[in-house]
Amino acid sequence: MRLVEVRLGERSYPIRIGAGLLAEAEKHLPALARPRAVIVTNPTVGALYLERLEAAFAKRDIRVDTITIPDGEGHKTLETLFQIHTGLLEAKAERSTTLIALGGGVVGDLAGFAAATYQRGMPFIQVPTTVLSQVDSSVGGKTGINHPLGKNMIGAFYQPQAVIIDTDTLATLPDRELRAGLAEVIKYGIIRDLPFFEWLEANVERLLARDADSLAYAIERSCRNKAEVVEADERESGERMLLNFGHTFGHAIETGLGYGTWLHGEAVAAGMVLASRLSRGLGLIDAAACERLTALIERAGLPIAAPNLGVARYRELIARDKKSAGGPGRFILLRGLGAAFSTTQYESNALDRVLAGDSSP
């Protein structure tokens, strides 16, 4: 088992990574306030892994109830959040009851927001089952829901008590979702970890082939990168903004096309290419860096061409992005591979050229 610690004082927690952890989850749980838990999952993941997790809890005589919510980004809504609240009330859950998120990023974001708001806060554990949730959304305490006008605009910072990553769950992950998760893995190399980017260039086909050792290493390296950033900037007032590389464009793609049309990782992949082209257009990186980034994303089976929403529509969606804070759009750009920075200072014409599909410097 691999162990990564997120060090946040009294809110610190472990990330445990390994094969077969679900079957022995009782060994990896933090001390529970009471022997009572509620699992939030969806029908797809529940059919595969719920019984295994329930059996592990039974070994510690932990009473478990289950709330099953609809699957997919299109259900990351206030209505589904209310469904979880209703389920908690019907189960007579208390403030000391532990909420468990068993699933991908949608389940984790919704369950985490429910945990933050039910009786003003209840203990929360993440059990992510997709690459994207294992390397990104389960770590760092961001929870929330989407709004028709913008992605992740309503939520809370609420740290879990533990993250339990069973890499065996990736065996049942559809190929498209595996590829989408790799977008967030590649992101860490691009923004702050050049040696990891180079490792990914040499090993991306191993990841696509689901080589167990390669996946475990990539998950651990990604979690360590995210943990370091979260420890330095938990509330996203500075360095943590770098984790949004490609996301300003990506969120615009998701919102503009309709949630669920493109997977989050697919939209981020295309968004990272746009961000690199904007960096190139501003003279911050050379063509070789832009080409290496694009080539790796393409080798991972991810889109490198953004949909044509039109410059005006992209501008409208970017202006609504929560990182813009009512001002000009904020972008994470590159001074080189492994060297990202946050800025609102850029040439408007350069942005328009990128949004129009012009890849020339």
175-355 shares the fold of 2-170: no
CATH number of 2-170: 3.40.50.1970
Residue 189: is it exposed, middle or buried by C-beta count within 10 angstroms (0-12/13-18/19+)? buried
Q: Is the pLDDT of residue 56 over 60?
A: yes
Tell me what the pLDDT averaged over the chain comes to.
95
- The DSSP bridge partners found for residue 162 are 125
Asked if 15 and 223 touch (Cβ cutoff 8 Å), the reply is: yes
pLDDT at 330: 85
**Per-residue pLDDT tens for 166-191?**
999 999 999 999 999 999 999 999 99
Q: How confident is the model at residue 150 (pLDDT cuts 50, 70, 90)?
A: confident
**Per-residue pLDDT tens for 103-142?**
999 999 999 999 999 999 999 999 999 999 999 999 999 9
**Per-residue pLDDT tens for 69-106?**
999 999 999 999 999 999 999 999 999 999 999 999 99
> Which stretches of the chain are DSSP H helices?
43-45, 51-58, 78-90, 105-117, 131-132, 175-192, 194-208, 212-232, 247-257, 264-281, 287-299, 311-320, 348-355
Q: Is the pLDDT of residue 18 over 60?
A: yes
pLDDT at 359: 67
Residue extents of the structural domains in the chain: 2-170, 175-355
In 3D space, the residue among 186, 72, 71 whose CA is nearest the CA of residue 131 turns out to be 186
Least confident of 96-110, 197-211, 308-322: 308-322
Q: What is the mean pLDDT of residues 352-360?
A: 85
Fold of 175-355: Dehydroquinate synthase-like, alpha domain (1.20.1090)
Q: Is the pLDDT of residue 327 over 60?
A: no
Active site residues: 120, 142, 184, 226, 236, 240, 244, 247, 251, 264
